[in-house]
Amino acid sequence: MRLFSTPLAVLATLAGYATAFNVNCNSNYASYYGQNSARNQKTLGSYCADATEDVIVLAFMNGFPNIILNFANACETTFEGSSLLHCPNIAADIKLCQSKGKAVVLSMGGAAGSYGFSSDSQASQFADTMWNMFFKGTAAQRPFDDAVLDGIDLDIEGGSASGYTAFISQLRTHYASDPSRQYYIAAAPQCPFPDSYLGSTLNSAWIDMVYVQFYNNYCGLNAYPTWFNFADWDNWAKTQSLNKNVKIYIGAPGGPSAASSGYTDGSTLSTIFNAVRSKYTSLGGIMTWDVSQARSSGLAGSIRAMLDAGGSCSNNGGGTTSSTSTTASSSTTASSSNPASTSNTVSTPAYSTASSPSTTTVVSTSSSSSAQPSSSSTPASCPVSGATCSGGQQGCNGQSFALCNQGKWYTSSCTPGTYCYMSGGVATCDWSNGRPTNTCAISGTSSFSKRADLTRSPLITAANLRPKPASAIANIPTRVEFVAGDIVDNKYTTVVKIQANKSAFTGNWLISFKLPAGQTADSTSRGSLGVNGNTITISSDRNAESLQNMAAYFKITGTFSGQYALPDTASAVFIST
């Protein structure tokens, strides 16, 4: 385990709180606990008895602002006269984990539930509620009694995308009021960039850790190196994130049955991890779903070994403490990763509710901010608006494309999430799919070309790989989402996600939807498959299903001709009896 060697660590230790977890390392291991994914979930304390994990993510608060907690078999008791869980055993284990130097955070959201904010005001008020119920505030009912969490994680996979920036801003205000410890904000987006739900929040709020889910998607670990897109997230961390020291984790399934796609064994994961660690300084470590799966499969031990082999820690600060947050004349050596700092040489985030995922607002007290590069730092091969050019040249400059008109460059931004690439002398905006995202090229002057391992890309329409969640026509409130899985030659895997909005559905269910033109379906990993023209129906196996379900994930496989595309969610019909 890694120990802080800063004065902050001394202060925290004197306060009775061990701080072995160092957010600035690239060898941290975070794992989710609470949903009993392997059906053999032990107590939280039993997993904290050794040094395997660094961060435990409690899953989930799957209902808010009307709070609903669900920790499967780990907690089933409630406060008298209330439906709110009261978990004294988890509370005691939280303290045990923290005494071992681990951070414990609560995950908000998840694949199924009823959550989201209707306004920034509601989100800010809920941040007050969170502080009072789970941190250093006071409340009549505290699910973990007097245990104090180390932070929250946003695993937003449904509901409204609004309010989360305001929520984080207000919660950080509370964080800064407690000088005794560090608190964290984490997020768990899916790997397609930008994330459908958290894209705007990631750009406008101060985030410490991002647990990217590299599974159940076309850009997962199983697609390495062709479609695996850690490069997109590293580029975001360095160019768009307010916290330029944010740490990106490789999210992996803990076992073969933990996800519909994306599982890799320890040896393969080690190869990928070491390749990423050698190239990207934003790497923070590995995350698994979930701890019961990772411990049962043995992957957790392999992860700990690979993390400890050659890990390193930066000197930048992380989390939020109040040690430098309240003095406007704080030292110029204060860490720039502390969002509350107002040092004369430190840029601090202006929490914004801007809806565009490509918009970043930064307020600096410095008269000469380094965040604004001078024109002299631009490589000669980058087209710059207003600069001279010749003929009908075209060019790329990161997320902007350029056209030469009457001897001058005119630049324009690509659609958020896409980047400019040259192809046959033509500037084209496209998804990165693992390619560099800072391309500087001008037709006739650049040798840039697509990676050889993307030769199959003509079969893929990038926009059609984006998840398209929608409310299904159903007899209970349900959301259906289709996500691209493995795509090899003319064979595809599409992941189907069925998520209940409020009430659970029974083990007797079916879903039908239409396949895109040119696709056939050959098998399903759950239930039985029926085909009628281009309409397919998957019926559950009642003997294999739970009596009550909040979600059902499975995959269908088949072949396609022409361009691969996801099914239209508008055609989905879900019935549970």
The span from the CA of 350 to the CA of 427, in Å, is 34
The span from the CA of 401 to the CA of 169, in Å, is 34
Q: Are 262 and 354 in contact (CB under 8 A)?
A: no
Residue for token pair 């083990």: 507
Sign of CA dihedral 296, 553, 68, 77: negative
Using alpha carbons, select from 21, 57, 92 the residue that is nearest to residue 186.
57
Residue 157 is a catalytic residue:
yes
Q: Determine which helix (DSSP H) or strand (DSSP E) holds 419, and give its type and residue range.
A: strand 419-423
Nearest 5 degrees, angle CA 8-CA 9-CA 13?
120
Q: Determine which helix (DSSP H) or strand (DSSP E) holds 201, and give its type and residue range.
A: helix 199-204
Could you please report the per-residue DSSP string of 488-537? ETTEEEEEEEEEESSS-EES-EEEEEEPPTTEEEEEESSSEEEEETTEEE
Two structure tokens written together for 259: 């996800």
Indicate the SS3 state at residue 430.
strand
Instruction: Using CA atoms of 42, 47, 52, 58 in order, give the dihedral in degrees to the nearest 10.
Output: 90
Q: Which string of b and e fits 2-15 if b means at least 16 CB within 10 Å?
A: bebeeebbebbeee
* Pair type for strands 551-560 and 519-524: antiparallel
Using alpha carbons, select from 238, 257, 302, 324 the residue that is nearest to residue 525.
257
Indicate the SS3 state at residue 375.
helix
Q: Of 76, 80, 157, 481, which is the active-site residue?
A: 157
The span from the CA of 508 to the CA of 51, in Å, is 42
Q: Cβ neighbours of residue 405 under 8 Å, at least 6 residues apart? A: none
Letter for the amino acid at 391?
A: G
Nearest 5 degrees, angle CA 291-CA 295-CA 297?
120
Q: Are 389 and 403 in contact (CB under 8 A)?
A: no
* SS3 per-residue string spanning 454-489: HCCHHHECHHHHCCCCEECEECCCEEEEEEEEEEEC
Indicate the SS3 state at residue 553.
strand
Q: Are 249 and 208 in contact (CB under 8 A)?
A: no
Could you please report the per-residue DSSP string of 158-188? SS---SHHHHHHHHHHHHTT-TTS-BEEEE-
Residue 204: phi and psi, rounded to 5, are -120, 5
Active-site residues, by number, are: 157
